[in-house]
Amino acid sequence: MVTQSKRDGLAGALREWRTRRRVSQLELALRAGTTQRHVSFIESGRSVPGRAMVVRLAESLDVPLRDRNILLLAAGYAPAYPETRFDDPRLGSVRTALERILEGHLPYPAVIVDRHGDLVAANDGFGALTHGVAPELLAPPVNVPRVLLHPRGMAPLIANFDEWAWHVIDRLREETVRNPSDRLSGLVTELQELVPERPRAPGPGYVGFAVPLRLRSSGGELRLLTTLTHFGTAVDVTIAELRLEAFLPADEATAAILTQLVRGRRRR
């Protein structure tokens, strides 16, 4: 039996997600294949939808799998999406695939992080970039945004730190708006205190369409672009929250330097 408190919990959560996504009741109803009246009744606590409807509403609002489980629990149903530890044998094929991607991206850096930016796996290219970072920042759990922007991390090596740091922070802030997390919000606050004020005007160095990460290295200055990839069809919470961040050379000189840095690292 679904109590009134559960109805109210589901109602409030659904309203919050719909407001966050800036979707009207009518638009949500059309997306989920129901009526605006039904959505209105759910949001007012007058009606509790069936399990399939909760899933459809969550899918229609692009609610993360973790939070879809919370909506299901609020409606009185069991979670629909498993959360498997990354080191679980059942995810062996996923780990193998990701390891191949990381290895195949060499000599260019690449990392796999979770929803908080904590490092799950990295290739030798990223290891070469983090050479000299304070040991405490590389002790698990390693938070990649913190490693990048901390004064005992990579911050002193970033030539365009004032500008590039805010791209990292803005991306994290956008994620907290889209998918709220107290821990991620705390990380944004922490990192904001580590960086200078936001530049009033864009600095030089754009590569036509993006701001490169300009990183000093023993072989010369690196100019790197970043890309983000995720599993678009995941049905496991852990896998759905993984992100692959790959760094690409913005010029031939950077590609050559990275090749040498990784070769040197592998000779040790």
Question: For residue range 67-113, what is the model confidence (pLDDT) as tens digits?
Answer: 999 999 999 999 999 999 999 999 999 999 999 999 999 999 999 99
Cβ pair 36, 25 in contact under 8 A: yes
Query: What residues pair up with 162 in beta bridges, in sequence order?
Result: none
| Cβ neighbours of residue 197 closer than 8 Å, sequence gap 6 or more | none
Confidence band of 204 (pLDDT split at 50, 70, 90): low
pLDDT tens string 116-127: 999 999 999 999
Scored b (16 or more CB within 10 A) or e, 24-59 reads: ebeebbeebebeeebbeebbebebbbeeebbbbbbe
| Domains annotated on the chain, with CATH | 4-74 (1.10.260.40), 89-267 (3.30.450.180)
Q: How much is the pTM?
A: 0.88
> Strand runs (DSSP E) across the chain, as ranges?
110-113, 119-122, 213-215, 222-230, 243-249
**Phi/psi of residue 121, nearest 5 degrees:** -160, 155
User: Is it the case that residue 45 has pLDDT exceeding 60?
Assistant: yes
